[in-house]
Structure 1
């Protein structure tokens, strides 16, 4: 009996801290958020991530009763903000809105100050947007087919810009060039903004960009849109063909956007944030504004988003290594 009593007491000693942890997480979720939440945006103000973070942040503040303050921490392809998230307290008060570029970084950098799979946790999927191939109006092409033919006939003479080496504008264009056998020159910039300016002036000839980033310039006739990169035509640009429609096979690029938290954040807090984001996405006004940005909103479970991030990290990491791309 004495040994049985000791065994029971030992089991209780192990079990009680777990109960306390679970109860602590539930209590934290019940009061979450009780103070302003910092939302890390890995890119400069005015970009797609920033626009989405601010739009949803305003709605989350209304619904949850605390401010969601966007903190733009650009640089190194988003790794600066991601490292900050990985080091942050796992309490739900530092979160990050990021896009699919996160999946590129493990392949682009030999050493990162964080482990994507170990140190951060995908919480809520927001949506995805195909990119759009845009060219300078000074280019003697009107269609995607003409662009591909021109680039093939003029190897090394077509310059495409991006927001930097290894950026979300560079990697897919490098893959596109490889698939089509085109020899185009990459011109990296410090952010997509300066690259777009040079594209409009004709200093560079082409870019592959998110629809929100260039929609105003397309609408104003300052840039010429040729094709989108998704599996189907974009509702935002329904008259444009996909690249697959013009003969580019095995190329589909629809970068997603989502919320992330530090690993170790209480599951109940993660669930509350996930549910709040999904509720915000169901708001007709928010959904309409996101669609205006070219974003195709979709609700899914947290685990589904976790699986997507893991899949794309592996898939794009392999493509990056095959092409020998390296981040700066």
Structure 2
């Protein structure tokens, strides 16, 4: 009788009491990191070194699963609906907050809502760069804008889809400068960059990571950046703000999220692992090699960053309006 009473008491423990024991052993099996875009884009180039570092720390596989489609909406929604057990994570981009608002603008139900995902850790937050082929006639932002105004609808740019992390910054610029440019959407940043390098389009707004090797090799030229300050690696590239476009500020950040129902002990286990990985010099070197700067934040700092940035981007999307 006494043994049964003890067993019954143990089974009656609430989840908040029982969960820490499970979190202590986390993960115990493979953890999938979803990237909602094809390989080669900003989320992918951040996810891979982070996943490799987590594998070393956890001694468990951390495969990166590319689930592209609908400018990232499909992969984001997949993780939002995943089991909240800590084994399905999302390396999201700044478009995470944009896509539900864009769906409402288009008159359809969002595939997910931002509050269905729990922020765990931010790894990078770089401003996008306006890049063009080095063989193009534009050597400055002013030349590019003047030509776009002189030839409405004739200069094309690629993106990772309507309202994506690469479309919104360009739409900010075209709206602010009064430009009519041809938007050519692709499924992700990798294909959008390939289109630029292959001469299918003439411009691209990209995070510095994917375009850095091509800038260094002289295949591409950067005309401007969307940050409040110039990038340390590209000090010669002016910001759009200093060129007279104060509303054109945009950061393509990459951060890890879990399904919102993930218990607090598991969230803390994930946060602690991300903090440890970010502190490893090898992680910073791997991100830098891909053209990214480690800008680690978690807990309240990441939540506040997400709140402010999401509000700013939602305002920008409403100014851009309906895009078919």
TM-score, length-normalised on structure 2? 0.89
CA contact (8 A) 2:38 2:190 kept: no
Match in the other structure for 1:31: 25
Cα distance in 1 for partners of 2:99, 2:132 equals 27
Determine which structure has more spread, i.e. the larger CA radius of gyration: 1
Cα distance in 2 for partners of 1:326, 1:141 equals 27
More deviation, 236-245/177-186: 236-245
Structure 1 portions without partners, runs of 5+: 1-15
CA contact (8 A) 1:151 1:157 kept: yes
Question: Where in structure 2 are the equivalents of 1:55-134 lying within 5 Å?
Answer: 55-110=49-104, 111-117=109-115, 119-134=116-131
CA shift, 1:19, in A, is 5.5
Cα distance in 1 for partners of 2:316, 2:113 equals 19
CA shift, 1:228, in A, is 1.8
Structure 2 portions without partners, runs of 5+: 1-9
Aligned with residue 269 of structure 1, among 243, 249, 266: 266
Cα distance in 1 for partners of 2:243, 2:21 equals 55
Q: Deviations over 1:227-286 (max 9, x none)?
A: 222111112323322222333222211121111011121111111111211111111121
Residue 282, structure 1, aligned to residue 279, structure 2: yes
Alignment partner of 2:63: what SS? strand
Change (3 A) 1:257 1:195: closer
More deviation, 126-135/239-248: 239-248
Match in the other structure for 2:316: 319
CA contact (8 A) 2:68 2:187 kept: no
Change (3 A) 1:223 1:40: same
CA shift, 1:17, in A, is 9.0
Change (3 A) 1:114 1:193: closer
Change (3 A) 1:202 1:46: closer
Change (3 A) 1:114 1:194: closer
CA shift, 1:85, in A, is 1.1
Match in the other structure for 1:48: 42
Change (3 A) 1:260 1:225: same
Question: Where in structure 2 are the equivalents of 1:1-328 lying within 5 Å?
Answer: 20-110=14-104, 111-117=109-115, 119-326=116-323
CA shift, 1:72, in A, is 0.9
CA contact (8 A) 1:104 1:320 kept: yes
Alignment partner of 1:265: what SS? coil
Cα distance in 2 for partners of 1:192, 1:38 equals 21
TM-score, length-normalised on structure 1? 0.88
CA shift, 1:194, in A, is 3.7
CA contact (8 A) 1:129 1:294 kept: no
Cα distance in 2 for partners of 1:90, 1:170 equals 31
Alignment partner of 2:257: what SS? strand
Q: RMSD of aligned C-alpha atoms?
A: 2.2
CA shift, 1:112, in A, is 2.0
